[in-house]
Structure 1
């Protein structure tokens, strides 16, 4: 028997809970919030330009009073350094990006901001610190709208939009898994559009005002002297500092990219490992990738609500084999696992954090939603069309009793394994898993096949489900007090296919009497003590011989006349009945 590793929670038991929940991403998020607060304050200040130059000046005085207060200044510039450094670290450390998501865009925008704004920051802050230059809105707007070429103003507009977009993406990634986010989305979207619009308009109006007043010699004498703009020698020094910063920053980006290349070569030389997805498929990857990164690199669907940031547990996996061979979880991973009650189980890990160093066999706990398959099924039939389909209801027996003696997490794991085994069998036989209800599912056959083929495919799927559940029982034998049992009800007939629901909760499904009959046949397997009940009408449509399966008259709730059904004690026997019918036809 495999040796159990120490529970996750023991490794950081001495650390307080609030400390164990803090990781690199939490630090970067906090620093980002500080920077976004500064950006918001600056944008609101810009928006005052829509009122008057006096309002703009009064606003910047309040802005400076807050952000140049020493503790706030230390917090701000510390956040700038840490957030920028962690951005470079993310460029180096992240091995796989979801190029269809916002993450690479957010990183590119964030890394571009210092390149676009460093000259403005050096002139404003270092000019004041080193030479006591008094640059405020009149001097800044004059330099952009009067003294400089027009592209400088457009460059400032670009950096404002880039910085705001980068911050909004970060807020979205942080808030999207919060319960109240859906309700707050319209208000947040309105603020995300309205605030930069007002800021840009205020920036433009202030620039127009300065351009008009700058024609006055008195205004120039009051606002463009050496006390405001500095001397040429001071400007040369500031330009040299700016050039040095640019070289260092580009060097850091280049070092991160070079480090990625060196690491890739080293990992390639370090060998490959095999990741096996519970026997469904296996891939070979370089050491150093997280399990989630490996899944993304090989286009294997893997649930991850937070995008691999260790802020949720949807990517978690159950390791098959000896978990003692795995690297220990970080404090952040241990905290997340402990928060869902899995801290004492060393076989449960987060796919976004685990970087295996040896071959690994595992199963994802939560299968990703097969949205694409549902859409293909919806396209296969015209919405609202009436057609012949075969409905199959499959239900797991005893899941309620199972939940009374096991942790909720373990119960969910077993139910998901059951539904996964059933779904694979259905798909292999040309069917489509349609709806998951608790520990059962509805599968449809005939979306792309004739009625006869649909009936035969459903019967074959029932036989394959039995074989798959036998394998699952063998695999989970040490975890289950008794084998998993199931019931299957199958019936075919005319149904209406279409999408039902409300707004963004629409579900493609089938409606009709045959669907209800299949559901009730599945319920009757409990009283008749069999694994599968299928209507004799479906057997005849499938071309199975009359005497191939035992039949019985049963009363179906909601029907006035009894119904002839085939009672199958062992679903595996259905494969033999199909084979016999094929031999008879041959």
Structure 2
């Protein structure tokens, strides 16, 4: 709840800043136009609902930011977090004068919103100009960092990033240009002191009012400074208090044990001890990159996941012993902790299925390989070989994904694909057959396209099998990926190599055809031995996988309820 309040209050303040800067852009035109728009916008923010929304968001955001700073166990921050923290702390002392000059004068002396009073300080001294213009940049950059940290976990954010970045740069630049243009117009008015005095008096601004506002501004700056000092002093006092509640003993490995007072989150413990631990969202519970596997004698003492944590864990399919390190505050006890993701992960890994844990599922596996690749590559420049192979991979990958499969990996000039990771076994088998058909058709199109560049047409061998396998994310660092292991995967690879011996394009197991509810008539049937497998494996050799799509009819077999698919002549 605290995180949500902080997020939404920040969005309100960011929206207010965006409107404020947009109003400054109008200063590139007549000063009167900018004043009229400013008065119209201020009418809402100065109304009771607008005041509650704006200053409620301001107080909530500042209070929760300071509370977060007090609760933070260490200051091991990345550069963007450091920048956001420093800018956030600078907003109060830099912005208080601006706040008092505008809202204070309106509330205490009924001064209407106007640019004349604000821009006088810009042209009055370099310090005033630096404060006014620096405040806009401080607030905007602080808000943009927060917005980026929030949105970068959204799948569609990368597509909109260039446009949003352009907007984030253009708006403050135009606003600063408008501020300078407006200050120039005000300085021209200030060239006539008598006229300027009359205009200020008409607004209700006198020398006494100005001095009173500056005194109020200085008082509020002192209060803000005292609050910041109190926040700094509260950190060691918090540590003393927490030591009274026992210690947490975290064992990361046989030679890495961390002992700290109870209270901080597991992510804070790791980072405070210098243990590499990812956390893309900054420990706000918006992603799953900080997840860990927890064991140890006191694991049962851990509190149950909160609503936010439970939602994230359910989304990634995490088992019971996997928790989010940023959301769990372990009580005093002894725990064994294993981070499950590499410290180098990025936003694209935020919702990756739980790594390090597999599950047994019935899937279909497809292997494909280019036939005669050595002869194809001999005498060709490396660039040409890479060009052909990439065109081949693009065609095969598109065919697999169009059939509903998942491209596991490209191995040399070979392809491995999985089907039915999140679906039912029958659908998985049907998708694998469809993928083989699509790959054969795609290869024919590719050969026609490259006919002028290739002396020999590309040929492939495809092996397809179905059965139970262990599916999970395996690997390390950037090489971590979703894959499958097991005897049936080895069998599928063996079927692909059998296409050479059987002189065909596709070898498919009877197990897969049976699961798909498909029978192949007039197709050569073979019984083969597979290493590590007992008994014979029945397979069918199809000369041209593309002919599966040309079946003239699909009829139910009265005896077994199978679908009879008769391949057409090649």
TM category (shorter chain) comes to 0.5 to 0.7
Deviations 1:407-458 (A, max 9, x none): xxxx999834xx36xx6xxxxxxxxx884553369xxxxxxxxxxxxxxxxx
Corresponding residue number in structure 2 for 1:350: 324
1: CA distance between counterparts of 2:102 and 2:196?
A: 19
Find the partner of 1:152 among 121, 128, 142: 128
> 1:62-461 to 2 correspondence within 5 Å?
62-134=40-112, 136-145=114-123, 148-217=124-193, 219-225=195-201, 227-232=203-208, 234-268=209-243, 270-277=245-252, 281-321=256-296, 323-340=299-316, 346-357=320-331, 358-369=333-344, 415-416=472-473, 419=474, 435-436=479-480, 438-439=482-483
| Pair 1:434–1:68, CA change in 2 (3 A) | closer
TM-score normalized with structure 1 length = 0.59
Aligned length: 398
2: CA distance between counterparts of 1:166 and 1:243?
A: 24
| Pair 1:110–1:41, CA change in 2 (3 A) | same
Contact 1:43 1:199 in 2 (8 A): yes
Corresponding residue number in structure 1 for 2:5: 27
Deviations 1:480-509 (A, max 9, x none): xxxx879999xxxxxxxxxxxxxxxxxxxx
Deviations 1:331-367 (A, max 9, x none): 432343345555xx65332110111121111333444
Deviations 1:256-310 (A, max 9, x none): 1111111223445655432223768543333222221222233333333322110
2: CA distance between counterparts of 1:207 and 1:332?
A: 49
TM-score normalized with structure 2 length = 0.61
| Pair 1:527–1:38, CA change in 2 (3 A) | same
1:404 Cα deviation from its structure 2 partner = 7.9
1:198 Cα deviation from its structure 2 partner = 0.7
1:528 Cα deviation from its structure 2 partner = 1.6
2: CA distance between counterparts of 1:139 and 1:100?
A: 40
Corresponding residue number in structure 2 for 1:583: none
Contact 1:134 1:229 in 2 (8 A): no
2: CA distance between counterparts of 1:485 and 1:295?
A: 39
| Pair 1:217–1:319, CA change in 2 (3 A) | closer
1:141 Cα deviation from its structure 2 partner = 1.4
2: CA distance between counterparts of 1:485 and 1:292?
A: 38
1:311 Cα deviation from its structure 2 partner = 0.8
1: CA distance between counterparts of 2:187 and 2:469?
A: 67
Contact 1:44 1:195 in 2 (8 A): yes
SS in 2 for 1:241: helix
2: CA distance between counterparts of 1:143 and 1:370?
A: 47
1:160 Cα deviation from its structure 2 partner = 1.1
Contact 2:290 2:324 in 1 (8 A): yes
| Pair 1:116–1:85, CA change in 2 (3 A) | same
SS in 1 for 2:293: strand
SS in 2 for 1:224: helix
| Pair 1:39–1:437, CA change in 2 (3 A) | closer
2: CA distance between counterparts of 1:119 and 1:266?
A: 37
2: CA distance between counterparts of 1:294 and 1:185?
A: 33
Structure 2 unaligned blocks of 5 or more: 347-381, 384-410, 426-467, 492-528, 534-570
Contact 2:38 2:113 in 1 (8 A): no
1:77 Cα deviation from its structure 2 partner = 0.9
